[in-house]
């Protein structure tokens, strides 16, 4: 007969093995988040208020983990109550410089050690250019500001050139591309999602047979990969060269 103590010991041993971990992963309800440091921080937050969709947290960790405990510059558009800036400070560690941008003057009071606040309108391209000059290259940009199409596109266009090679630009709350209140609508050419679809073409300009309409540009030369999630697109920046291919090994049959 299995006693409570026996059951506890079996669970304990299961937890410690790779098989046990696989079983527990399988038993997790569909859509539940795998444990990750940001979800843990978020669920236990005692600091300033944070507002995030829950499935974003493992996505952040997946793409941001290599930058933890490094001297990175992290720029977030959309400060709100200041909680996400505190979360980034905790996550990236004591060497990180965290910059938050918001249009709301009240946010100016939310600066603290490692956290700088800049007040301005992300729809104003001159503001964005001045900000870029002031803060220099950015390792990680999180776009969580006003969420209108013009704001998202202006921020992406002005800041992509300012992301450090090897850095990441993460656009979030892209569901607004489907919400009329934000300028969205299915297949509306002005939406960020339609803009992003064109970026997929631009990434593939190396293979264009039609230079009149699709030509290699600075984006083609710097986009390593776009990762599309529900509401989020992550853009990896790198020094990208023309793709090459070759054959290796012994043929299995004549051509
Ligand atoms: C979704 S909240 C940010 C949430 C915060 N990052 C968090 O995770 O808790 C969006 C913020 O964007 C700001 N915002 C709205 N329009 C803006 C604009 N044009 N320029 C800059 N910030 C703007 C709002 O004032 C608001 O604080």
Whether 195 is covered by a domain: the verdict is yes
Where in the sequence is the domain holding 27, given as residue range(s)?
1-32
Question: Is the domain of 66 the same as that of 190?
Answer: yes
pLDDT for the residue 184: 98
**Is residue 124 lining ligand 1, measured as CB closer than 6 Å?**
no
Say whether both 8 and 104 belong to one domain: no
pLDDT tens digits in sequence order for the chain, 255 residues long: 445 555 555 445 545 555 445 444 445 555 565 679 999 999 999 999 999 999 999 999 999 999 999 999 999 999 999 999 999 999 999 999 999 999 999 999 999 999 999 999 999 999 999 999 999 999 999 999 999 999 999 999 999 999 999 999 999 999 999 999 999 999 999 999 999 999 999 999 999 999 999 999 999 999 999 999 999 999 999 999 999 999 999 999 998
Our answer to whether residue 147 is catalytic in this structure is yes
Return d(Cα 116, Cα 85) in angstroms, integer.
9
Active-site residue, from 147, 186, 207, 227: 147
**Per-residue pLDDT at 22:** 47
pLDDT recorded at residue 23: 43
How far away, in angstroms, is 143 Cα from ligand 1 center? 9
Q: Which atom of ligand 1 is nearest to the CA of 52?
A: 8
Distance, CA of 168 to CA of 166 (rounded, Å): 7
> Could you tell me if residue 246 is inside a domain?
no
Structure tokens at 165: 């090679």
Per the domain annotation, does 160 fall within a domain? yes
Ligand 1 pocket, residue 184 CB under 6 Å: no
Indicate whether 255 belongs to any domain.
Answer: no
The number of domains in the chain is: 2
User: Does residue 254 lie in a domain region?
Assistant: no
Given this model, what pLDDT does residue 1 score?
Answer: 41
Instruction: Say whether both 14 and 115 belong to one domain.
Output: no
Same domain, 21 and 88: no
Kindly report the CATH number assigned to the domain that includes residue 40: 3.40.50.150
Smallest CA-to-CA distance from 236 within 57, 33, 62, 51 is with 62
Sign for the CA dihedral angle at 119, 122, 125, 130 comes to positive
Asked if residue 97 and residue 76 are part of one domain, the reply reads yes
Q: Examine the domain organization and report whether 110 and 185 are in the same domain.
A: yes
- 151 close to ligand 1 (CB < 6 Angstrom): yes
116 lines ligand 1 (CB under 6 A): no
Residue 11 and residue 102 in one domain: no
Q: What pLDDT score does 244 carry?
A: 98
- Indicate the top mutation candidate among 50, 74, 80 to test ligand 1's pocket, ranked by most ligand atoms within 8 A of CB: 80
Tell me which residue has its CA closest to atom 17 in ligand 1. Answer: 146
Q: Give the pLDDT score at 197.
A: 98
Residue 215 placed within a domain: yes
Q: Are residues 14 and 80 in the same domain?
A: no
Q: What is the DSSP letter of 112?
A: B
For residue 19, what pLDDT is reported? Answer: 47
Question: Does residue 222 share a domain with residue 171?
Answer: yes
180 in a structural domain: yes
Q: In what order do the strands lie in the sheet with 73-77?
A: 115-119, 97-102, 73-77, 138-143, 163-172, 232-237, 223-229
Tell me, using a 6 A CB cutoff, whether residue 145 lines ligand 1: yes
Three-state secondary structure call for residue 192: helix
Residue 103 Cβ inside 6 Å of ligand 1? The answer reads: yes
């Amino acid at each position: 007969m299995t006693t409570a103590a026996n059951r506890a010991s079996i669970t304990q041993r299961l937890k410690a093995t790779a098989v046990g971990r696989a079983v527990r992963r399988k038993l997790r309800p569909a859509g539940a988040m795998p444990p990750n440091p940001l979800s843990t921080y978020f669920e236990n937050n005692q600091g300033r208020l944070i507002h995030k969709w829950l499935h974003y947290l493992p996505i952040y960790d997946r793409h941001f983990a290599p930058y933890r405990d490094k001297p990175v510059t992290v720029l977030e558009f959309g400060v709100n109550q200041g909680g996400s800036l505190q979360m980034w400070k905790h996550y990236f560690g004591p060497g990180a410089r965290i910059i938050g941008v918001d249009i709301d003057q009240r946010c100016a009071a939310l600066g603290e050690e490692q956290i700088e606040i800049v007040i301005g309108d992300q729809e104003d391209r001159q503001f964005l250019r001045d900000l870029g000059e002031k803060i220099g290259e950015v390792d990680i940009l999180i776009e969580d500001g006003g969420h209108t199409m013009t704001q998202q596109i202006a921020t992406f266009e002005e800041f992509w050139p300012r992301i450090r090679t090897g850095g990441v630009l993460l656009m979030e709350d892209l569901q607004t591309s489907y919400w009329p209140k934000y300028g969205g609508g299915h297949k509306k050419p002005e939406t960020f999602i339609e803009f992003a679809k064109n970026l997929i073409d631009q990434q593939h300009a190396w293979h264009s047979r039609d230079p009149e309409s699709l030509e290699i540009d600075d984006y083609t030369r710097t986009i390593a990969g776009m990762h599309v999630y529900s509401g989020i697109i992550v853009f990896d920046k790198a020094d990208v060269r023309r793709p090459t291919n070759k054959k290796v090994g012994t043929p299995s049959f004549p051509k």
